[in-house]
Amino acid sequence: MASCKSSIALNLTDRVGSSHPPRVSGEIHVIIGPMFAGKTTSLLRRIRSERNNGRNVAMIKSSKDTRYAIDSVVTHDGVKFPCWALPDLTSFRHNVGEDAYEKLDVIGIDEAQFFEDLYDFCCKAADNDGKTVILSGLDGDYLRKSFGSVLDIIPLADTVTKLTARCEVCGKKAFFTFRKTAATQTELIGGADLYMPVCRQHYVNGQTVVETSRIVLESTSVRHQTTQLSCLEAATAAAA
């Protein structure tokens, strides 16, 4: 954060007495919420809207996220958008090239909680470089504690959108992410196999959630086995 503040101070000092007009400042928009709240879908919708309006856009995601594709941001519904998969945001400018970076109007960042340099990058991109930054990420981990630097961006943001999912136990609004496994590391990348969105009541009543998850998984397994058996019986009958 200190480096961002220093760059701003230097930038202001350089402008004193300069005949050059200052660069137009950018914007920062934050989309947060639990898993399965549609954060990536909302991000892609806004990025596509910006592109359709004639603005140059680029999408970034963490190289840690290889769930659906390596070089694309993918929603849980399978919607894709090409992206730069990077270990950090600082390397983006070098990777995309100086000329291409200068021509960019909008930068999208998915799964922003995985980038340790998120604050400095967003601050410089919007304040100094005039970029519009739209990012999506988890506001909390499975313990309902701050995840990465996403919440640090809120004081910088022009807008903050908090999305909700649907509780998989009762169907009410879900604000939290429940981890189905006993793993305790903060970063455990996965989808519906590891996580489910829940309301406050069913987050607190975690055992109820675990039991519901077990029943759902067993039911799914039984249906799968029944389908396989039916197909086998049909194939046997046809062969006879």
Indicate which residues carry an active-site annotation: 111
Beta strands in the chain (DSSP E): 27-33, 57-62, 72-74, 80-82, 84-86, 106-110, 132-138, 159-162, 165-166, 173-174, 176-179, 195-198
How far apart, in Å, do the first and last CA atoms of the chain sit? 73
Q: Residue for token digits 């990777």?
A: 95
DSSP string over 45-74: HHHHHHHHTT--EEEEEETT--SS-SSEEE
Q: How far apart are CA 141 and CA 148, in angstroms?
A: 9
Beta bridge partners of 33: 138
Q: Are 94 and 117 in contact (CB under 8 A)?
A: no
Q: How far apart are CA 121 and CA 86, in angstroms?
A: 13
Q: How far apart are CA 110 and CA 80, in angstroms?
A: 12
For residue 165, the SS3 value is: strand
